[in-house]
């Protein structure tokens, strides 16, 4: 009785204040090194992806070929479950160091690009970089589970998201300037240096990783299916990952209406997108910084649903012709969109046994990010033939409906399957 009362009082004290652990995360040696590696590699990749599009356009004059740059980086996401299986076969820190060093060597190849006939080399390199990004994302998630204390992971994942969004604000400008001043090879060298710095950061993370289990005789596809099956059958992870995928898909669908909204709805020039983007970015930074504290006040499922609903309301606000409301909608999109992604990845790291974490993370990333390219195609077709408000209203309504369904179908509070055990094993115990 006394022990239970003490626990209840402690829970009440925790519930009455929103604990801010950002500084605690930054003071954690492993977390700081990981964030440094993510920031420098993300900066280099973002700069390179923009510069590569400009590079292709400059050499070939083709808008279609320039658009293939993004496609090459995105395409390997579909093979995420297969690629992620490799991250479960070896220790993750050495894998991250080796992969980043290999990618550093790979991205120096475009230095040889001199004419339109050499553009294929850029596409090949970017496809390899996209494959490496899928592999490192899977390995990084597994490394987080081993190197960062569980109570800090919500705050940590929010900081990672904030860091990545911050690089997207600065890296494109740096890539465009470097390309204009010194040409594409200079940007390739910058990306190579960023991979080397990331490898150094991961090298100095202190973590004790268990040796992988003895190699199994099962086929690679069977081991891949095990991770996919675990995610799909897990009562906590499946709805959170699908919500993340829904948020990203609706974001891509609605984003294609931006220039039509500026023209037909607000009677602004296309350059006004440069105002909307920082407003949305500000919302994403705030959301990332507060995610961990908010998730300690509620469940990940509720946090994800609230974030998706806020995102959907922001999209609906952008269907109005009133500029202040559109700006508020952009802020709401930035605040809400990260919630579903941060909640899903935090739950994946907590609920997945270590030997499956690479596969499950890669499968989750495929479900959340692979459909975005298809949504961009669908949105482009819609904005070409319909009033832009149709797709904004569609995306907003679907987002609200999914958020409501996620809330109404939530299971009663109860113990989740223990990390390291499959849902079926928890049910039998």
Angle at 39 between CA 172 and CA 297, to 5 degrees: 115
Alpha helices, H only, 88-219: 92-106, 119-147, 153-182, 184-203
Residue 201 has pLDDT above 50, yes or no: yes
- 106's CB contacts (< 8 A; 6+ apart) are 125, 128, 129, 132
**Between residues 16 and 366, the one the model is more confident about:** 366
Q: How far apart are CA 261 and CA 248, in angstroms?
A: 20
**Between residues 64 and 408, the one the model is more confident about:** 408
Please state the separation of Cα 20 from the chain's center in Å: 23
Q: Which pLDDT does position 130 carry in this prediction?
A: 92
Residue 296 has pLDDT above 90, yes or no: no
**Between residues 106 and 282, the one the model is more confident about:** 106
Other C-beta atoms closer than 10 Å to the C-beta of 151 total: 13
Residue 416 is encoded by which pair of tokens? 């989740």
Chain position carrying tokens 């909307």? 276
Q: How far apart are CA 1 and CA 7, in angstroms?
A: 10
Residue 12 has pLDDT above 90, yes or no: no
**Between residues 385 and 314, the one the model is more confident about:** 314
The dihedral through the CA atoms of 315, 317, 320, 326 has a sign that is negative
Residues 302-321 have pLDDT tens digits of 999 999 999 999 999 999 99
Using DSSP's 3-state secondary structure scheme, residue 52 falls into: helix
Other C-beta atoms closer than 10 Å to the C-beta of 171 total: 23
Please state the separation of Cα 242 from the chain's center in Å: 14
Closest CA to 398 of 242, 264, 259: 242
**Between residues 160 and 413, the one the model is more confident about:** 160
Global confidence as pTM:
0.80
Q: Which pLDDT does position 324 carry in this prediction?
A: 93
Backbone angles phi, psi at 79, to 5 degrees: -95, 15
The pLDDT-based confidence of 418 (bands split at 50, 70, 90) is: very low
Task: Say if residues 136 and 96 touch (Cβ distance below 8 Å).
Answer: yes
Residues 207-265 have pLDDT tens digits of 777 666 555 566 778 888 899 999 999 999 999 999 999 999 999 999 888 888 888 88
Q: Which pLDDT does position 218 carry in this prediction?
A: 67
298: region left, alpha or beta (phi > 0 left; psi from -120 to 50 alpha): beta
Task: State the burial class of residue 391 (Cβ atoms within 10 Å of its Cβ: 0-12, 13-18, 19+).
Answer: buried
Q: How far apart are CA 163 and CA 102, in angstroms?
A: 24
Residue 376 has pLDDT above 70, yes or no: yes
Other C-beta atoms closer than 10 Å to the C-beta of 73 total: 19
Q: How far apart are CA 71 and CA 119, in angstroms?
A: 14
Q: Which domains does the chain have, with CATH numbers?
A: 27-206 (1.20.1250.20), 220-411 (1.20.1250.20)
Closest CA to 352 of 419, 417, 425, 300: 419
- 422's CB contacts (< 8 A; 6+ apart) are 230, 233, 353
The pLDDT-based confidence of 8 (bands split at 50, 70, 90) is: very low
**Between residues 417 and 122, the one the model is more confident about:** 122
């Amino acid at each position: 009785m006394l022990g239970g009362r003490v626990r209840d009082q402690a829970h009440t004290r925790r519930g009455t204040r929103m604990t801010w652990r950002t500084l605690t995360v930054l003071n954690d040696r492993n977390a700081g090194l990981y964030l440094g590696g993510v920031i420098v590699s993300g900066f280099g990749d973002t700069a390179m992806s923009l510069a590569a599009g400009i590079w292709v356009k400059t050499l070939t004059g083709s808008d279609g070929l320039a658009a293939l740059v993004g496609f090459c980086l995105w395409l390997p996401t579909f093979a995420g479950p297969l690629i992620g299986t490799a991250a479960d076969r070896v220790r993750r820190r050495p894998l991250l160091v080796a992969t980043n060093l290999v990618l550093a060597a790979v991205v120096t190849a475009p230095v040889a690009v001199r004419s339109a006939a050499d553009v294929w080399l850029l596409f090949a390199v970017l496809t390899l970089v996209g494959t490496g990004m899928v592999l490192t994302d899977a390995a990084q998630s597994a490394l987080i589970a081993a190197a960062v204390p569980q109570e800090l992971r919500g705050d940590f994942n929010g900081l990672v998201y904030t860091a990545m969004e911050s690089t997207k604000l600065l890296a494109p400008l740096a890539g465009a300037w470097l390309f204009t001043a010194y040409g594409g090879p200079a940007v390739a060298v910058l990306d190579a240096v960023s991979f080397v710095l990331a490898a150094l950061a991961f090298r100095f993370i202190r973590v004790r990783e268990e040796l992988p289990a003895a190699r199994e005789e099962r086929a690679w596809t069977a081991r891949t299916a095990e991770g996919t099956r675990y995610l799909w059958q897990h009562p906590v992870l499946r709805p959170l990952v699908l919500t993340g995928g829904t948020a990203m898909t609706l974001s891509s669908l609605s984003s294609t209406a931006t220039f039509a909204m500026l023209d037909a709805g607000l009677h602004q020039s296309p350059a006004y997108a440069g105002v909307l983007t920082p407003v949305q970015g500000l919302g994403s930074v705030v959301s990332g910084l507060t995610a961990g504290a908010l998730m300690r006040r509620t469940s990940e499922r509720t946090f994800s649903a609230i974030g998706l609903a806020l995102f959907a309301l922001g999209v609906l606000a952008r269907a109005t012709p009133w500029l202040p409301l559109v700006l508020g909608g952009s802020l709401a999109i930035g605040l809400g969109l990260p919630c579903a992604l941060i909640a899903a990845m935090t739950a994946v790291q907590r609920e997945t046994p270590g030997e499956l974490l690479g596969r499950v993370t890669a499968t989750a990333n495929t479900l959340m990010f692979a459909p975005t390219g298809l949504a961009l195609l669908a949105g482009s077709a819609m904005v070409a033939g319909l009033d832009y408000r149709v797709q904004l209203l569609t995306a907003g309504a679907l987002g609200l409906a999914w958020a409501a369904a996620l809330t109404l179908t939530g299971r009663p509070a109860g113990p989740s399957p223990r990390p390291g055990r499959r849902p079926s094993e928890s049910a039998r115990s």
